Structure 1
């Protein structure tokens, strides 16, 4: 079959110009690094301390794994701080596609894991301040992370992701900033294209310290109580028709230090989105004719989604000695969703149809206990051991989306069930420098995931779908690091991972009989990675990783009829590729960053599925996995001065072609875009002001920002906006 072309770039040489810019950024940074003396210790930005890889603070340079850190400046400066895609686009191997649809959240994949998700995030674990933001069955929502108060994000990829359990093809962990010394009140207001407005207020500080020359807590003794509270409101009319959204977020981090050895931290967050409009995907013809339009079914059924998510957790950390630390974690939360879909009335006539309205009420929570031992001396050893329990219970109902001739309203009941999923895991992880030049990392995790469904909607033609099933898996990981020189580390690592079905994939059998799909098994992966971490000069960092993942029992669609989609373990897949990042700060006020990733992700076996067509669809062996590009690149050139001072940055982004379906008959074309941001910061007594302007997609390129994988009506494409603008101002006052 021929590949379907989606859009053409209106500026023929736009891609060449942006790719050229990426090359220039790399060349200038690397040549500058060579001209800089290699003596002296590199700045901390070149060798950040991370916790995600091992759950204890360690230098990323000394770990046999791919882990990147995105700092506060790259999260907040000149950015709207609404979507993770703004800042994590720089991480090689991580693909975040902004759907321009706040009813469906972002599409996130790591080395191809998670790419098949049609809504929300799966295959990647999300964590905020030690609190899980992913459900036990592997589903998560990026919108729950409040970027306004985030100081750092760590992204782990490769074999050691498996130590975090089910569906951990990668790990994204966000950390909330601490309150500053004294008390600081700050606010931000920004506006931009498509009626976009965001306002934010943050209050942070430290209480109870002794006064110093700079005031309470400044130059004196820090107080025992530290806090930061953040509230924001985001509103947009959307680039596309019928895509308006309003989002309210609030978060708080309160830390009390009992003494030098014991702290208690309370973390809370809340997200509210009422009647977020869903423009749906577009066909190839629609996207080419008018990328800003919504499918007519979106307005006919008034497709929309309301979300309320509240979560809170406590983290208690106690250091019993210089070598022994215990951390206790507990959390709980609720999530409510009401979603109106564009399911035609005729498609709801089947007795097995769950209707066109989703009503979900979920409660979730968990506990974790972690012990860490760290020895000093010439052969340091670190051991981390722990247990995790996570649970989620939801009441899920489905209704018809019509009453009489009225569409887009809640009608008769078509689905009513209780779903419970729990996860219980035990793990141990060690790091041992057994010689001056060698370090060994190893880990083992046992995870048990239990699903239980109670069906209360039993009618003629719709049998009892109640049932339960338990999956168990043991995942070993191991890595070896060789310190070739003080500035060059080589490593290799390997490990196994697994991913259970979600409840939506487990819910129904392909043959139409009652009960859960007991034949559906977790997909399992064997992962290998080799890499280089190099500090060629005291101002440059280079990371290079080569990897391969072989997945057995990949979960893919089996049938789609009667209002139900079922799934099967139909194919093995292979993912292999290269990831490169180069960061250089070749002057005190000038820096460059480049990342590049190549991913070859293919089905190894042919399989077939019935998507409601007259004949089954055959997917050939060798087809590329949909939802992931083969090549991605990001380049950035940043100039910053002190305070007062200007800062300016140019960003370049390249994405290769992305297939939209398993058969590889539909694809979104490759694209390249450039963005710029400018800001000016100055201080007036206790006030600090920053004004900024941002322009995205400078060349006004027409491109597809995201695809809906295997969309049943061929509405695969979600177009991105052309050239768009944003201006903003922030102010802070120190008391």
Structure 2
């Protein structure tokens, strides 16, 4: 990250990142018995096909900001690339992604009004090829297509203070188009999603706290992966609808200055139509389908405490009851209703907390995360037990280098108490819902900020 000042209230911020992850092996998913009795085992298919990922990715973005007589202007442009080779059992996926976008906003604030307007555009090109696997190497070409995604949006927001009250309103229009050019000629495809998303909110200032209530709408379009992973294995796109979401939330946010404490508490409710749910095919390819409607209701609370001295604490807890309100699933020759079932892969409770100590010599932190049980399938026949893990991290305060650069070395121990737990593979084929997570492991490195 670099900041360049161009004078009073003007400047350019540049952010870049580059990462290479050589063949990261997959542990493979197991049955519950196998995951409990021998979590270190790897299924023979994983060994035979050298399952894993080799990823190289990078991104570069720049933002120009300027306080003009019309308001504050922010103009952002970015580009990224991602090259992925992903052997999975029976197939090898080779994906090269190039993407970029621009965003322009104008905002102004007066004593009686705050407003902002903006436009944005994104373009993504995925060159996707899929092969049969010969011991983890590409063999016979199955899919060869260019997938193009373009997104245009216009948006605006308005805030009107009325004494202690404030009314907030927003409006956004999106057009999102996916297009597949199948070079093998079996099936091209185009899908277009359009949505107008209004939102409105009301808040009341209590001095050291603020009450708020919001109503929002939105559309969650499928990704290129969800569209291209067709159950029949052909090229083109899967026939999927976007998820539509209507949600309300209300709560309180505030501070307790004497104790250097800040807090947020919110209750929420969401209705989701055309829920996108993953499921696994016999060859262990993950496909997706729209499966009815769902309701999410719950609460979130977060606390931040910064007492005098080097210590600070952050903690958060969320509760969500996510269940199907309609939908069916076919099992053999029968059809089962999903109404009342919990959404798979969604834990009802999640707690996280971090204790941090910062001195002139070192920065140290201990983080705990606790996750409750969750279901592995839409029928709610498989459960994954909850778990609690602790991560430790030690770093040296940034070391100044020539030219204003800062170097920060760090050492991290993840899952410090070597807790045995599983990640979940939703709707896995053959009852293999459980993917053993890593035990105690460590990593070390340095971060460079220019």
Where does residue 244 of structure 2 map in the other structure?
A: 524
2:205 pairs with one of 483, 487, 491:
483
Contact residue 279 and residue 428 of structure 2 kept, 8 A: no
Where does residue 424 of structure 2 map in the other structure?
A: 707
**Alpha-carbon displacement from aligned partner over 1:313-344 (angstroms, at most 9, x marks no partner):** 232222213x612222222232221111112x
CA drift at 1:662: 1.3
Unaligned runs of 5+ in 1: 1-252, 344-355, 459-463
Contact residue 510 and residue 558 of structure 1 kept, 8 A: no
CA drift at 1:650: 4.4
Contact residue 143 and residue 234 of structure 2 kept, 8 A: no
What SS class does the counterpart of residue 279 from structure 1 fall into? Answer: coil
Where does residue 220 of structure 1 map in the other structure?
A: none
What SS class does the counterpart of residue 411 from structure 1 fall into? Answer: strand
1:362 aligns with 2:100: no
Where does residue 634 of structure 1 map in the other structure?
A: 352
Where does residue 335 of structure 1 map in the other structure?
A: 82
**Alpha-carbon displacement from aligned partner over 1:658-699 (angstroms, at most 9, x marks no partner):** 21221211221112344555678799xx9x999987655455
Where does residue 417 of structure 1 map in the other structure?
A: 145
1:393 aligns with 2:125: yes
Where does residue 291 of structure 1 map in the other structure?
A: 39
1:471 aligns with 2:189: no
Residues in 2 aligned to 1:699 and 1:509: alpha-carbon distance in whole angstroms: 41
Richer in strand (by share): 2
What SS class does the counterpart of residue 431 from structure 2 fall into? Answer: coil
TM-score normalised over the length of structure 2: 0.87
Unaligned runs of 5+ in 2: none
2:261 pairs with one of 505, 519, 540:
540
Where does residue 719 of structure 1 map in the other structure?
A: 436
CA RMSD in angstroms, aligned pairs only: 3.4
- Superposed, which structure 2 residues align to 1:36-435 within 5 Å? 253-321=1-69, 324-343=71-90, 356-375=91-110, 377=111, 379=112, 381-402=113-134, 407-435=135-163
Contact residue 690 and residue 730 of structure 1 kept, 8 A: yes
1:447 aligns with 2:168: no
What is the aligned residue count?
444
Contact residue 88 and residue 284 of structure 2 kept, 8 A: no
Give the structure, 1 or 2, with the largest relative contact order (CA under 8 Å, sep 6 or more).
Answer: 1
**Alpha-carbon displacement from aligned partner over 1:605-627 (angstroms, at most 9, x marks no partner):** 131147xxx44673521111111
1:600 pairs with one of 303, 321, 328:
321
Residues in 2 aligned to 1:562 and 1:718: alpha-carbon distance in whole angstroms: 17
Residues in 1 aligned to 2:287 and 2:446: alpha-carbon distance in whole angstroms: 49
Contact residue 124 and residue 149 of structure 2 kept, 8 A: yes
**Alpha-carbon displacement from aligned partner over 1:183-231 (angstroms, at most 9, x marks no partner):** xxxxxxxxxxxxxxxxxxxxxxxxxxxxxxxxxxxxxxxxxxxxxxxxx
Where does residue 504 of structure 1 map in the other structure?
A: 225
Where does residue 666 of structure 1 map in the other structure?
A: 382
Closer, same or farther in 2 for the Cα pair 1:699/1:394, shift >3 Å? closer
Contact residue 283 and residue 717 of structure 1 kept, 8 A: yes
Where does residue 621 of structure 1 map in the other structure?
A: 339
Residues in 2 aligned to 1:536 and 1:368: alpha-carbon distance in whole angstroms: 37
Contact residue 265 and residue 300 of structure 2 kept, 8 A: yes
Contact residue 301 and residue 340 of structure 1 kept, 8 A: yes
What SS class does the counterpart of residue 139 from structure 2 fall into? Answer: coil
What SS class does the counterpart of residue 410 from structure 1 fall into? Answer: strand
TM-score normalised over the length of structure 1: 0.55
What SS class does the counterpart of residue 412 from structure 1 fall into? Answer: strand
What SS class does the counterpart of residue 664 from structure 1 fall into? Answer: coil
When structure 1 is superposed on structure 2, of 264-273 and 536-545 the one drifting more is 264-273
Residues in 1 aligned to 2:284 and 2:84: alpha-carbon distance in whole angstroms: 20
What SS class does the counterpart of residue 401 from structure 1 fall into? Answer: strand
